[in-house]
Chain A
């Protein structure tokens, strides 16, 4: 995720409908050339349109490619989930990055948490589980007494 955020720019995360359609097809197939994509029939576009769009996705660092004969074989760099999370993070980062939360008329439940705080969240989760157990056993004891 951090890796993705570092490489994908804000504009890259915003994909056009054609880019989205081809990316979906690539997620389904795993890797493909332009010709394979067209022969499969799931995409009804001109060869050059597909080629240009895949090249654009490659330049946006969303696809990888390796030469295969005179063409390229394209494969997605990230899974769908990874890309969506990166895009969400990027949007929030873009919004908040320039001046912090109080600079925009938005209130968040949680703004953002650093990757250093994962251990803190684990610790808090343990305390929460303990508290819930205590509460359950207390409620159980009260009911038994009744």
Chain B
């Protein structure tokens, strides 16, 4: 019974922390972004990713760092108390969230693998400036994409390979390889595992910033910037789809494209609108938070035990 109560209480605390964390970031991620303004697209993407997975981290830290030790240390082993309705209900919510998350990730991975198989059927390997393999697809593939998590591959459609100049294609490939280096596809899969309603806007903002970060990584001169802008325009013309056919997410990407190309035009002319928060500010905030947690750990364990007692009753 002790073990069952321990599991029930731990899972309940996980769910409470996860849900509260998710609601908090859903409401406050824009404010947090303004406060911690990191400056570059890469740092902004990293911050948005950290905010997005914060509920999962918070839930794990609360469960493993506080709830579990508090229960093991402060709960008498001998008592024959029942698990309680509230912990049982919350544990059921945990199971539902876990199944939803894992199923979503497995489904996304399977759909991607199927699409990749289709695109790679009859494809030819192209010269790549990098260890990441590049394939020219003869099937109905997107113009330029990087697919896969464990063994990512860049796929270039026949149309794109025909329409882009070698310089444009090289810059576009560098853009895709930047996604591979930053494990963007893995991060997308993590989003699916840590699923929660109402995080679409945050994920879309992250996706926009990853594109900008990959643009930055692909470009090292104004010539590169213009080549990439040209590649974007040409590839966009190949992929025009009727507005009626577009989902909201695609319309969003369609709007962001103009901004992205104009940003490339302005390459090297002081693009940063606001200065970034200095690194010491973020480091200091984190260290201060850690100090508060360490100094009040005993009190936290006691508080958590009272909370679990209340929850079990």
Question: Residues on A close to B: CB < 8 A?
Answer: 1-2, 5-6, 13, 84-85, 87-93, 95-118, 120-121, 124-125, 127-128, 131-132, 135
Contact = CB atoms under 8 A, between A and B. Distances in A.
B123 interface: no
Contacts of A131: 226, 265
Contacts of B254: 111-114, 116-117
B306 interface: no
B147 A112 contact: no
| Residue among A13, A95, A124, A125 facing the most chain B CB atoms (10 A cut-off) | A124
Contacts of A125: 233
Contact of A101 (B159, B241, B253): B253
A15 B143 CA distance: 21
Q: Does more than half of chain A's interface fall in helix, strand or loop, or is it mixed?
A: helix
Contacts of A113: 236-237, 239-241, 254, 257
Contact of A1 (B144, B242, B248, B252): B242
Given A88-B141, A121-B233, A101 B249 contact: yes
23 contacts: A1-B240, A88-B140, A91-B142, A93-B245, A96-B250, A100-B204, A102-B200, A102-B203, A106-B147, A109-B143, A112-B239, A112-B241, A113-B239, A113-B257, A114-B240, A114-B241, A114-B242, A114-B251, A115-B241, A124-B229, A124-B261, A127-B262, A128-B230
B146 A107 contact: yes
Interface stretch (B53-61, B70-78, B82-90, B172-180): B172-180
Contact of A128 (B175, B229, B253, B258): B229
B47 interface: no
A102 B207 contact: yes
A26 to B, nearest CB: 20
A96 B249 contact: yes
Contacts of A127: 262, 265
A5 B250 contact: no
A114 B244 CA distance: 9
The number of chain B residues touching the other chain, given as a range, is 35 or more
A103 B108 contact: yes
A104 B112 contact: yes
A101 B254 CA distance: 12
Given A96-B247, A101-B249, A124-B233, A91 B258 contact: no
Contacts of A108: 142-145
B241 A105 contact: no
Interface in B229-281: 229-233, 235-254, 257-258, 261-262, 265
B26 interface: no
A120 B254 CA distance: 10
A54 B293 CA distance: 72
Given A93-B241, A128-B229, A132-B226, A110 B115 contact: no
Contact of A103 (B188, B210, B232): B188
A124 to B, nearest CB: 5
Point out which of A6, A101, A105, A125 has the most chain B C-beta atoms below 10 A from its C-beta.
A105
Contacts of B170: none
Contacts of A135: 222-223, 226
A115 B235 CA distance: 14
Contacts of A120: 257-258
Residue among B111, B248, B249 with max Cβ neighbours from chain A (10 Å): B249
Contact of B176 (A1, A107, A128): A107
Among B207, B231, B236, B251, max chain A CB count under 10 A is at B236
Nearest to B108: A104
Contacts of A121: 233, 236-237
Contacts of B248: 100
A98 B230 CA distance: 30
